[in-house]
Amino acid sequence: MVALLRGLIARYQAPSEVRPSFESALREAEALIAQTPGLYDAWDTKALALWGLGDAAAAESAYQQARALNSDAGVVARVERLKRQLGIRN
């Protein structure tokens, strides 16, 4: 999640660091998913990283997997807020 947040911040402060931050977040999320496939937060991080990298189709798939694991209103609201920060609109 830290790398993901770094990517969000970099969008405003250091554009050259955006892609590496999202790639790092994606690697971290995929490693967590490999160890614990039911970890919804890792799926959310994967989705957000993929949106940050511009892969909307894969991001939507990861997002749907996360929602299948956890659709609590507070969790969804957090992810939707981060999506808006990325410029992603439903």
Q: How do residues 7-65 score in pLDDT, each as one tens digit?
A: 766 666 666 778 888 899 999 999 999 999 999 999 999 999 999 999 999 999 999 99
Query: Residue 55 is part of a domain; what is its CATH number?
Result: 1.25.40
- What is the pLDDT at residue 37? 97
| pLDDT of 66 over the 90 cut | yes
Number of separate domains in the chain: 1
Q: CA–CA separation, 90 vs 16, rounded Å?
A: 27
pLDDT bucket at 69, cuts 50 / 70 / 90: very high
Among 78, 74, 9, 66, which Cα is nearest to 42's? Answer: 66
- What is the pLDDT at residue 86? 85
DSSP state of 74: H
Among 10, 13, 33, 36, which Cα is nearest to 22's? Answer: 10
Query: Which residue range forms the structural domain that includes residue 69?
Result: 2-86
pTM of the model: 0.87
Among 36, 39, 23, 21, which Cα is nearest to 75's? Answer: 39
